[in-house]
Every structure is written in structure tokens, then in C-alpha cells.
Copies of this chain bind each other. A is one copy, B any other.
Amino acid sequence: MKATSYSRPELIALLRRHGVAPTHQRLEIAHVLFGRCEHLAADQILTLVNERHAETSKATVYNTLNLFRDRGLIREVIVDPKRVFYDPNTQPHHHLYNIDTGEITDIGAEVLAVSGLPELPPGMVTEGVDIIVRIRAL
């Protein structure tokens, strides 16, 4: 969870490196995602991006998040049936989910280890292993 905020040219390079054309709206969204290091939902991103001047539509936010996800720039975090969160950290890691507040925190994959993963049927591959530790106030 680095606090580094990318500069505009860095963001452009980042998108290009993933084969994404750096349009104005995409840069705004990337800025929001990579600027802070939180787990944000689409509606939060829509709000943040349009804080100063309304300049990005709902459709574009959804299009862009799906594009970023497909191109491996961000990861989806599915812990809340109500909305998907997006995680700018694409390193292997897991999540701590506070079911009272909705807060999501990363747990590095180095810390958490799983053993005993079953063998897969032939022709099947593991796409990823997600561990969600659900916690709450006592």
C-alpha cells in the first residue's frame, strides 16, 4: 500500500503499457484509483471524478473499470453482494473485510499461506485464490 501518487506522464505510460489509450476520462479515473490507495466502488469513483466539474459519465466509469480490469490494471474485489470494489493493487494479496463498516484492508500474500489446494480436473487452471477474512466488532 504505497502512498505514491503518480504524475500525469506516469499514468499515461502506465495505461499505454497495458494497451489502453490514455483519454482524458481514463486518466481522471486512473488518477482517482492510483492516487489514493483505497478500495473504491464504481459509484464512489463516479463521484470523485466529477467533484470539480462534471466531465465523466456513469457509462464511461463502468466501461473504463471493466477495461482496466480486463487489461490487468486493477482487480475486482467481491466481498459485498451490493457492489463490486476495485483494487489498484494487482500484486497477489488477500483481504480483511469489516462487515460492520464495509472497510477493506489488504493482507499481503507473503503473510497468508494456503495449503491443501485440491487437484483440478484436467484442462482446468486456477485463475486465482481469494481469501476474505470477515471481521466485526465484538
Contact = CB atoms under 8 A, between A and B. Distances in A.
A114 B117 contact: no
Contact of A127 (B107, B123, B125, B135): B135
Contacts of A84: 81
Interface of A: 76, 78-81, 83-84, 96, 98-99, 107, 111-118, 120, 123-138
Contact of A126 (B112, B123, B127, B133): B133
Contact of A78 (B80, B113, B133, B137): B80
Nearest to A110: B116
Contacts of A79: 78
Given A78-B79, A127-B135, 20 more contacts: A78-B78, A78-B80, A81-B81, A81-B83, A81-B84, A96-B118, A98-B124, A111-B118, A113-B115, A114-B114, A114-B131, A120-B135, A123-B137, A123-B138, A124-B138, A125-B135, A125-B137, A128-B133, A129-B132, A129-B134
